[in-house]
Amino acid sequence: MAGDINPMEQFEVGHLIDLKLFGYDVSFTNSALFMVVVFVLLATFMAGGLKRQLIPGRWQAAAEGAVSFIDSMVNVNIGKGGKKFAPYIFSLFFFILFANLVGVLPLAILPGLHTFAVTSHITVTAVLAFFSFGIVLLVGLFKHGLKFFGLFVPHGAPMVLLPVIVPVELISFLVRPFSLGLRLFVAMTAGHILLEVFGSFAVQGLNAGFNGSPIGFVVWLGSFAMIIGVSALELLVCAIQAYVFALLTSLYLHDAVHLH
């Protein structure tokens, strides 16, 4: 059958404006374009909500709800001394959420338009994860000094077991940025591949149906139903992954601030 549909094609980063700086390629790519789109959307959302009316309108109520949602997450998970991390968690959560949602927008039905999921690239998610990890390290070391390494010794662990527990705790600490970045990247990539695969089934089924094999229409109908279902699931995954990223970052910050 005709149809070499490559499910990985949607993740390709292409140059929009070629730029060189000190011999490095710093071209403006479609990835950068969609980060700008996400930033503009987020800035518009927040700027429109900063009205300080006594009786909030819909927009202001939405922005206030967003802020108080992050505020309560920070209060519950970091506790005392967590207030100053709220802006970071807020930016993290809403950047990831908006990037995920922009990535699944079905704009490809307009010819030439093609959304790009920024968070489906490990370069982006790993940078976010290393930001979180770096903040945890800096906060922990500045606040507790060398006592910060007491994090690797759980309370009440018998001395005999320490040679085993400390390396395990150390590894689980060092793996955090990788698991944080990998989770978001793979969850988004897997969802987009799944959508693309069912999309190619639908196209090829329709082609086969018009070429004289009626079973193609059945395949098309089934694939189309799956696309709708998977899209709904993707919306849920977008929100959950953003929430999990912010939640785990605030938990790690709790460790850094309070040491257990």
Minimal distance in Å, beta carbon 183 to other proteins?
5
- If one asks whether residue 100 binds other proteins (CB under 8 A), the answer comes out as no
- Report the amino acid identity of residue 158: P
Site string for other proteins, 47-76 (x = CB under 8 A): --------------------------x--x
CA distance 42 to 95: 7
- For the beta carbon of residue 20, count every other beta carbon within 10 angstroms: 9
SS3 of residue 151 by DSSP: helix
Distance of CA 9 to CAs 14, 33, 105, 108, Å? 11, 18, 17, 14
Residue 235 in the binding site for other proteins (CB under 8 A): no
**Min. distance of Cβ 39 from other proteins in angstroms?**
26
Nearest residue (CB) to other proteins, 199 versus 254: 254
Site for other proteins in 5-34 (CB under 8 A): 8
Of the CA atoms within 13 Å of residue 20, those in its CB half-sphere come to 2
Runs of H (alpha helix) within the chain: 30-49, 58-77, 86-103, 122-144, 162-210, 215-258
Question: Which of 151, 221 has the CB closer to other proteins?
Answer: 151
Site stretch for other proteins (CB under 8 A), options 51-59, 137-145, 164-172, 242-250: 242-250
Q: Based on the shown chain and the rule CB under 8 A, indicate whether residue 248 belongs to the binding site for other proteins.
A: yes
Total length of the chain: 260
Site string for other proteins, 187-226 (x = CB under 8 A): x--x------------------------------------
List beta partners, residue 25.
20
Identify which of 71, 1, 24 has the alpha carbon closest to the alpha carbon of residue 212.
1
Say if CB 96 and CB 119 are below 8 A apart: yes
Per CB under 8 A, 37 contacts other proteins: no
Contact set for other proteins, span 154-193 (CB under 8 A)? 179, 182-183, 186-187, 190
Answer for which of 31, 77, 115, 223 binds other proteins (CB under 8 A) is 77
Question: CA-to-CA distance for 249 and 177, rounded, in angstroms?
Answer: 10
Which chain residues interact with other proteins by CB under 8 A? 8, 73, 76-77, 179, 182-183, 186-187, 190, 240, 243-244, 247-248, 251
